[in-house]
Amino acid sequence: MTEEIRKGLFRIEVPLPNNPLRSVNCYAIRGGDRSLIIDTGLNRPECLQSIRQGVRELEIDLAKSDFFITHFHTDHLGLVGELAREGSRVYFNQPELDWMMNWGGWEVMFDYGARNGFPRDQLQSAFHNHPGARFAPTRIPELQILSDGDQLRFGGYTFRAVSTPGHSPGHICLYEPERKLLISGDHVLGDITPNIQCWSDEHNPLQSYLDNLDKVRLLETELVLPGHRGLISDPIKRIDELKAHHHRRLNEVLDVLDGGPAHAYRVASRMSWDIEADSWDDFPLMQKWFATGEAIAHLRYLEEKGAVRRKPEGTDTAYERM
């Protein structure tokens, strides 16, 4: 589906088959000399066909198009190597470029997941089915780095890069102050909440995420164009809902720990999730992985606040309430 949101600014809804997200929003700004395409979908035929059909309908020439990728998750980055042409500029962020350049493989995440209680015999299977592995880009073009405050001008729009780490280490939104538009990637979503995961003791992604919700809350915005689902016409209300959601989750984690020390996998199994399953044992394996990563993010936040502390439990990292 393709729709015009503002003059020269379009949304191409790209399907994500067999994925609970259902689709990803690819935005296109049609310009005279060059056009800009924002986010691309997974590297799979259904996504590629949808984008190719969308740009044909919009009469956008890929040979005269540049690209902006909000963050490195595969549903946003996956097709950029297929779509970018010689001479295309692909705008990206430095933290995630560094991460990709220094990528040491999945084994580090296997080890970290196991230390946080995720059954090691299930890890290989989880990553075999991970969309980040199955639908990754075949190639990454040369990337042009955007920093906070940098500007992009296309089709009469002047966007300002707004650095918003949290959902991912280098996530960037685009803000158009004259038209009061925010292209939010996965930083602000409407009827679903961005997944905030942690897979390293060096990071506190939930703190970053909440801080950057406050950052975009200060922008004078009338319409948010998110990475998934529908547009958001009341940004302040939605941002406040997202903040309240995470504070409820933090209290839920503390309630779980009232029952005694627990590792993140056990904490996740006792939290409430909007998934159609009768019990934790019935959760799809990848949903268990995402839930465990989110539990770790909330535990790390509480640890930094001094509300919980680590307590060794065999080879696992367990947490207890202070």
pLDDT tier at 316, thresholds 50, 70, 90: confident
For residues 197-220, give the mean pLDDT. Answer: 96
Contacts of 281 by beta carbon, 8 Å cutoff, 6+ apart: none
Question: pTM to 2 decimals?
Answer: 0.95
282: DSSP letter: G
Place domain 2-132+141-321 in its CATH homologous superfamily: Ribonuclease Z/Hydroxyacylglutathione hydrolase-like (3.60.15.10)
Query: How far from chain centre, in Å, is Cα 172?
Result: 10
**Distance between CA 92 and CA 62 in Å, rounded?**
18
Reply yes or no on whether the pLDDT at 36 is more than 80.
Answer: yes
pLDDT tens-digit readout, 83-121: 999 999 999 999 999 999 988 777 888 889 999 999 988
Strand order in the sheet with 223-226: 151-154, 157-163, 172-176, 181-185, 223-226
Q: How many angstroms separate the CA atoms of 173 and 182, rounded? A: 7
